[in-house]
Structure 1
Amino acid sequence: MHEITPEFYCDVFDQLEREQVRYVVVGGIAVILHGYVRPIADLDIVVAAAPEEANRTLHTLMRAGFMPTIPLPLHTLTVMRLFDHARRELDVFVRYLIPFDELWAQSESMRVGDSTVRVMSLEHLLREKRLNGRPRDLQDIEELLAIKGRDSRPSN
């Protein structure tokens, strides 16, 4: 099995950007892109719940080779899991702990390889991790705050 890194999904990011889909990367890949490298299992994104935007997102991902695991309209769900022929997993949230418009407004544009990616802000990432409160989330918070502390110290 491949080690999953953010670069593993560059083709997905490129397709979403090309189709001008409004999405925000959350979860483990967001943790990595904010500086704490750890194992991840999939790509998690949040998209707008409006039916036309959710529909466009799903069709874009299907054109990229992903197939939904449930035969329901995306906008009627909280999250939909999709897989492609390489067994890459992608979770698309239309309802999330932080409302999409707020996530989008404060998201950051980051580079992953040659791709541009919309990633949830560190503030939102820490907030989401606190709300979840699982052991993995608490570890992520500790590591991200340590990195933030190192980055904010003045250099001599």
Structure 2
Amino acid sequence: MFADAGVRYLVIGGHAVSLHARPRTTKDLDLWLDAAPENIGRACAALLRFGVPDEIVANLRTARPDIGRDDLLASKRAVGRPQDLRDVRAIERAAGMEPQKRPRARRKP
């Protein structure tokens, strides 16, 4: 859908972990969109053609920067959920990295 519309995007999150380490299941698909106005316009048009409700498409006005392995690791460490910390270990192993001291998983309040 996005590729056909010429949208510049990256797949991030759990699917990025699969690329850098090992396949893992996830409940969603995290995307990064190039924030250039013409790119956001193409993304909005593609989403509307796909059937995404107007009110959701109307909220698409910001984008997140690209995420490489180091930034992905930093982000997952900062969040600290058990799955994120497992992802960190998997990425480190896959990259042959020396594991860093790991924070404990955050507990729900």
TM-score, length-scaled by structure 1: 0.51
- Contact 2:10–2:32, Cα closer than 8 Å, also in 1: yes
**C-alpha separation in 1, matches of 2:75 and 2:60:** 22
RMSD: 2.4
Q: CA deviation at 1:42?
A: 1.6
Q: Does 1:48 align with 2:39?
A: no
Gapped runs of 5+ residues in structure 2?
98-109
> Which of 22, 31, 45 lines up with 1:36 in the alignment?
22
Q: CA deviation at 1:71?
A: 5.8
- Contact 2:15–2:24, Cα closer than 8 Å, also in 1: no
- Contact 2:47–2:57, Cα closer than 8 Å, also in 1: no
**C-alpha separation in 2, matches of 1:67 and 1:146:** 38
Q: Does 1:130 align with 2:87?
A: no
**C-alpha separation in 1, matches of 2:75 and 2:51:** 26
Q: Percent identity?
A: 38
Q: Does 1:141 align with 2:93?
A: no
**C-alpha separation in 2, matches of 1:126 and 1:19:** 31
Structure with a larger share of its residues in strand: 1
**C-alpha separation in 1, matches of 2:79 and 2:31:** 16
Structure with a larger share of its residues in helix: 2
Letter in 1 for 2:3: E
**C-alpha separation in 2, matches of 1:143 and 1:122:** 12
TM-score, length-scaled by structure 2: 0.69
> Which structure has the bigger radius of gyration?
2
Q: How does 1:6-155 map to 2 (within 5 A)?
A: 15-63=1-49, 65-68=50-53, 70=56, 72-75=58-61, 94=63, 96=64, 100=65, 103=66, 120-149=67-96
Q: CA deviation at 1:38?
A: 1.6
